[in-house]
Chains A and B, each alone.
Chain A
Amino acid sequence: MDYRFESPAAVRTRLREVDYLSDEAIAGVVFLADRLGKPILVEGPAGTGKTQLAKSVAEILGARLIRLQCYEGLDESKALYEWNYKKQLLRIQAERNADSSWEDIETDIFSDEFLLTRPLLEAIRAEDPVVLLIDEVDRVEVETEALLLEILSDYQVSIPELGTIEARQIPMVFLTSNNTRELSEALKRRCLFLHIDYPEMDREKEIVLTRLPEISDSLADQVARIVRSIRQLELKKSPSVSETLDWAKTLLLLGVESITEAEAVETLNILLKYQSDIAKASKELQGDSGAKKPGVPRTS
């Protein structure tokens, strides 16, 4: 079997080519997923590029991205497959006058022609390279998770009337989770686990620089530093990478060269979405001379 990547480093460089800055953990896990033929469960705070990772991998592989957005109440007819019963009815009606036996019709209406493929089945049956993204898998109920198990471990779908459909090729599979509930052991066991946290300062700066080529190096540096400071506070919701980017974009539009406190405080509402967080952060940034930071626990 051909592997898609030669080494973790290759993953990293190729991801960089499509403007996705990975780190060692991300590149390593993507590489392993390819080698072991296992799905990746990506977890982490919102807005750290979980979904983007799948998109970027699809892009570098030149693969089609098939996306299944999970939500409460998702069921097999929306995730796996469904029989096109209207067409089946038509078929039966059309046959009514001809004298074909019941068996004929039965084998006929439960054939490929009447099968509506949904994302999971489509990924399995695809001839061309695909990347399957199962987004926010923590939103489905525990029972529905079971639907995914067969496809994740064996890359096959069993349809009672048709038999088992096996994958023509093993697609790359990404599952993302915002961790609003614990996923079942069975699901976790089948996946490689990747936690994407907020990036280190240097990486965040690079992300800003790649995504906004027109930004100056010093401004990007300042943005990354301020965001790091803010993330150290105990907030309801720390700023995500996408919010950092939005903020940098705003500063750029405002024509800011180097950020002063006033500007930082005025534009905080782009980084933070809770009033209490904004109040806290602006107080901290204007600083009681920044000398002490009470209540901020530092792990040593």
Chain B
Amino acid sequence: MLELLSGFIVELRAAGLPVSLTENLDAMEAITHIPLEDRDAFKYALAATLVKNNSHWRAFETVFEVYFSLRGSEYSLGGGDELPEITDDDEIPLNPEAGGAGAGGGGEAMSPEQMAEMLFQAMRQGDDAMMRALARQAVTRFAGMEPGRPVGGTYYLYRTLRNLDLDGVLERLMEEAQQESPAPLTPLEERLERDEFESRIDRMKKEIEAEIRRRLVADRGVEAMAKTLRKPLPEDVDFMHANREELVSLRKAIYPLTRKLAVRLARKRRHGRKGPLDFRATVRQSLSYGGVPADPRFRYPRPSKPEIFVIADISGSVAAFARFTLQLVYAISGQFSRVRSFVFIDGLDEVTQYFEGVEDISVAIHRVNTEADVVWVDGHSDYGHAFEVFWEKYGREVGPKTTVLILGDARNNYHASQSWTIKEMRKKARHVYWLNPEPKAYWDTGDSIVSDYGAHTDGVYECRNLRQLEKFVDILE
């Protein structure tokens, strides 16, 4: 047990969770108080002592499932090569439900149609035990898992789901619900029904996923599996290579982050420094000490809020990054006197108005992507031209209170750099920063000319994930 647990903790650390030694010891102590056969209690005991940040929960859960999925009676596989037997066992819970469907002859005899029917019934009743049994069935039957084959779980998952056609089941469930109700369903009722079924289907998918994982772990061993499933934490997900699921988790992570940043910036503004000495108030205060100015008074500090100009490359390669940064900047725009934003590919357009009066930033960003006029010639990034246009049209408005943020990878497709525009910009602006979503090692390789521009800015920052973005916003002032 001890060995397993330390392996578990090593894996957690490898997944990026900061687990300290004391926390490790706490976990060891915690599980002595918990009945080991209670899998859930065991899980929560480990979680409470090891995971101190909610966004890490998912990572923890994955590792936990891998390490402890084969433990606990109801989860046992009964040995790796006895799969057919298991299907037989599964018939026991299935039989009473299947009734006269003729499935009594064992799993092998069941036709796909019968299976689909049972799936439908299980979904309709929201029967957990049956769903679990069906998940096992489905994986045995459809996933076509072969021991030792080096493909990931997603491949098997895809194969299983394709055969089950859960979307079709959902439609059928909805139709059924429509027919069963005496009066036609109102949209509200329909929506509620749908939500209910969708959540059941989600549960079914999770069961299948868990089942596949269990079998993979049995096949390949714990360490190997944990390694394949290891995913970056939301704050470490690379903007440029995030897949769909990761983008969703990023979007979820960005909101709490903006709130934190806003609080932090506001606090810094209030507490950071004191204003100049308020002579009048000091003298007034000194009267209570007999004319000794023992208690100096200061004016209320009024640091000017910076004005932010965001100039973002929204060409394909860096679009996701621009999107997150814009979202972040607007979410904390209360901390700035004004935010103006410009987007470009090879032409440049101001998009500030899209964000004005819009509550939902994602709507604005959608408009930016569809309406802004950013293509000049061929729709390949041309930083030089874009900056030139910016300088001509808006250069006058850059002033000593302006902080300019330029977002992009500076891959200029070998066009002229026109870096003098940045130089001029810096002369007039308070600060010019460049945020680059590429890893530092790639800078200035190929057609990237970051240092051409970077030489004229106050700093070029690598900004590949939320953690780095957060760190950068902290220095903004």
> Which of A24, A193, A228, A287 is in CB contact (< 8 Å) with B51?
A193
Question: Within the assembled complex, what's the spacing in Å between the Cα atoms of A264 and B196?
Answer: 18
CB proximity of A55 to chain B, nearest CB, Å = 20
Question: Within the assembled complex, what's the spacing in Å between the Cα atoms of A286 and B187?
Answer: 6
Instruction: State whether B191 touches A290 (Cβ < 8 A).
Output: yes
Chain A, Cβ-Cβ closest to B366: A295
A-B pairs with beta carbons under 8 Å apart, 14 shown:
A25-B47, A32-B49, A179-B256, A181-B264, A185-B20, A194-B48, A195-B54, A201-B199, A236-B359, A261-B187, A286-B188, A290-B188, A290-B190, A300-B205
Instruction: State whether A289 touches B187 (Cβ < 8 A).
Output: yes
Among A197-238, those with CB < 8 Å from B are 201, 222, 225-226, 228-229, 232, 234, 236
Are A8 and B196 CB-contacts (below 8 A) given A185-B18, A276-B360? no
Are A299 and B191 CB-contacts (below 8 A) given A8-B41, A32-B34, A195-B54? no
Q: List the B side residues contacting A38 at CB < 8 Å.
A: 26
Question: Within the assembled complex, what's the spacing in Å between the Cα atoms of A194 and B359?
Answer: 32
Are A32 and B40 CB-contacts (below 8 A) given A38-B26, A181-B260, A285-B188? no
Question: Within the assembled complex, what's the spacing in Å between the Cα atoms of A239 and B51?
Answer: 26
Instruction: Please give the residue numbers on chain B whose beta carbons come within 8 Å of chain A beta carbons, in ascending order.
Output: 18, 20, 22-23, 26, 29-30, 33-35, 38, 40-41, 44-45, 47-49, 51-54, 57, 186-188, 190-192, 194-196, 198-199, 202, 205, 245, 248-249, 251, 256, 259-260, 263-264, 267, 359-360, 362
Chain A, Cβ-Cβ closest to B186: A261
Q: With A191-B52, A201-B199, A229-B195 given, name 15 new contacts (CB 8 A).
A: A8-B41, A29-B48, A31-B33, A32-B48, A38-B26, A179-B256, A188-B53, A192-B49, A234-B362, A260-B188, A274-B359, A285-B188, A287-B190, A289-B190, A290-B194
Instruction: Please give the residue numbers on chain A whose beta carbons come within 8 Å of chain B beta carbons, in ascending order.
Output: 7-8, 24-25, 28-29, 31-32, 35-36, 38, 40-41, 43-44, 72, 141, 179-182, 185, 188-189, 191-195, 201, 222, 225-226, 228-229, 232, 234, 236, 259-261, 264, 274-276, 280, 284-287, 289-290, 295, 297-300
Q: List the A side residues contacting B263 at CB < 8 Å.
A: 180-181
> Which of B26, B57, B186, B251 is in CB contact (< 8 Å) with A36?
B26
Q: List the A side residues contacting B248 at CB < 8 Å.
A: 297, 299
Question: Within the assembled complex, what's the spacing in Å between the Cα atoms of A285 and B194?
Answer: 12
Q: List the A side residues contacting B259 at CB < 8 Å.
A: 180
> Which of B195, B256, B260 is in CB contact (< 8 Å) with A228?
B195
Are A193 and B48 CB-contacts (below 8 A) given A225-B192, A228-B195, A287-B188? yes
> Which of B18, B44, B195, B267 is in CB contact (< 8 Å) with A29?
B44
Chain A, Cβ-Cβ closest to B22: A189
Instruction: State whether B256 touches A24 (Cβ < 8 A).
Output: no
CB proximity of B475 to chain A, nearest CB, Å = 17
Q: List the A side residues contacting B256 at CB < 8 Å.
A: 179
Chain A, Cβ-Cβ closest to B470: A182
Instruction: State whether B44 touches A25 (Cβ < 8 A).
Output: yes
Question: Within the assembled complex, what's the spacing in Å between the Cα atoms of A264 and B191?
Answer: 13
Q: List the B side residues contacting A290 at CB < 8 Å.
A: 187-188, 190-191, 194
CB proximity of B334 to chain A, nearest CB, Å = 14
Instruction: State whether A36 touches B202 (Cβ < 8 A).
Output: no
Q: List the B side residues contacting A193 at CB < 8 Å.
A: 47-49, 51-53
Question: Within the assembled complex, what's the spacing in Å between the Cα atoms of A232 and B53?
Answer: 22
Instruction: State whether A229 touches B192 (Cβ < 8 A).
Output: yes
| 5 closest A-B pairs by CB | A287-B187, A276-B359, A290-B191, A28-B44, A188-B52
Q: List the B side residues contacting A287 at CB < 8 Å.
A: 187-188, 190-191
Question: Within the assembled complex, what's the spacing in Å between the Cα atoms of A35 and B33?
Answer: 7
